A = this chain, B = another copy of it.
């Protein structure tokens, strides 16, 4: 079991990572101070882990809100169902919400907690690798609008994050691999040693070795916590975490979010960003090759779909990270260092998009 502290200026909270945490009554009792709780989860996860979590919270008054599973349910309407459950159980400002599930559950439950009575406490209990290394840490919560992902949301930090690596046992291989894409991203943007470690330990991770997973998750959370501590609201530094995401967003949107998992699209996006970085003379060729190699090891896709260069550019511009017309991109300098810039020749971007998408 490892514990980290996230320090976001106005608040501070622990992330605990390890095996058997959902059954660890002592831990849960210490991290969930409230007498009244609402567990928000989905139909899939409820079946697997809800009884366990409930048993560990036996001393609390615990209500449930079980949502349908899937990104298509990450809507304002579904957030409304969480409000209904909070109201129906007469939960007050001193109640705590527990988000038990993947990123979708964490985002909806976190957003509902941010808004209910103008803010009640919530604890993230992520059950997917992607949620454990990314969405559960940093306080970005929200729901989708038909016009775009996460267009409605809040910056709202949890009281605690509890990552039980045992929950990864039930994750389909493909979903685990998609989560690894974000771990690889942390190596690219921040930590060459993590990148090297991943290179040596990929097989262990894919075999779900608990120690290897704990290390990868803890190091990822540590990096994310460091970045978020310096820039909670993404005025500058936090943007580096979007490495691969602007291209990835276009891929997800062009394929109606039903062909690629988020991590798969990010993997492809990182490759394209690395190639553009190389074309711009920012980075040397072997860097791109190392990235491609590690993505292959992780069993992630490395050939983008032919969505068309123009369509890709249009979708990238629609991404909400576009500031007043200038498309800011996160580009690679070397493994462990990226830059955020909107200063590059449009022709080079166009050529890259044509190469991969047309």
Q: Which residues of A contact B (CB under 8 A)?
A: 76, 79-80, 83-84, 87-88, 92-94, 111, 114-119, 140, 142, 145-148, 150-155, 233, 320, 322-324
Copies in the complex: 2
Residues of B contacting A87 in the complex (Cβ-Cβ under 8 angstroms): 145-148, 151
Tell me whether A320 and B154 are in contact in the complex, defined as CB-CB below 8 angstroms, given that A80-B76, A87-B147, A147-B87 are known contacts: no
Given the contacts A92-B322, A320-B92, A83 and B119 also touching, CB distance less than 8 Å: no
Q: Is the CB of B114 within 8 A of A154?
A: yes
Q: Which residues of B contact A119 (CB under 8 A)?
A: 154-155, 233
Q: Check B140 against A93 for contact (C-beta < 8 Å).
A: no
- Cβ-defined partner of A93 (8 Å) among B83, B93, B118, B320: B320
Given the known inter-chain contacts A76-B76, A118-B142, please indicate yes or no for A151 contacting B83, CB distance below 8 A.
yes
Distance, CA A93 to CA B151, complexed state (A): 10
**Interfacial chain B residues near A118, Cβ < 8 Å:** 140, 142, 150, 153-155, 233
Q: Which residue of B lies closest to A112 (CB)?
A: B152
A146's nearest neighbour on chain B, judged by CB, is B87
Are A152 and B83 within 8 A (Cβ)?
yes
Q: Chain B residues near A142 (CB, 8 Å)? A: 115, 118
- 5 extra interchain contacts, Cβ-Cβ under 8 A, other than A76-B83, A116-B151? A92-B324, A118-B140, A118-B150, A118-B155, A154-B154
CA distance A20 to B76 in the complex (A): 39
The 6 closest A-B pairs by CB, nearest first: A87-B147, A118-B153, A115-B152, A117-B320, A76-B80, A118-B155
For A153, the closest partner residue in chain B by CB is B118
Collect the chain B residues with CB atoms within 8 Å of residue A80's CB: 76
11 A-B residue pairings within 8 Å (CB atoms)? A76-B80, A83-B151, A87-B151, A88-B147, A92-B323, A92-B324, A93-B320, A93-B323, A115-B154, A116-B151, A119-B155
Say how far A234's CB is from chain B's closest CB, in angstroms: 9
A324 touches B76 (CB 8 A): no
Whole-angstrom distance between the alpha carbons of A79 and B80 in the complex? 12
Nearest-CB residue, chain B, relative to A90: B318
A48: min CB distance to chain B, Å = 30
Closest B residue to A322 by beta carbon equals B92
Q: Which residues of B contact A147 (CB under 8 A)?
A: 87-88
Report the minimum CB–CB distance from A139 to chain B (whole Å): 10
What residues on B are CB-neighbors of A84 within 8 Å? 145
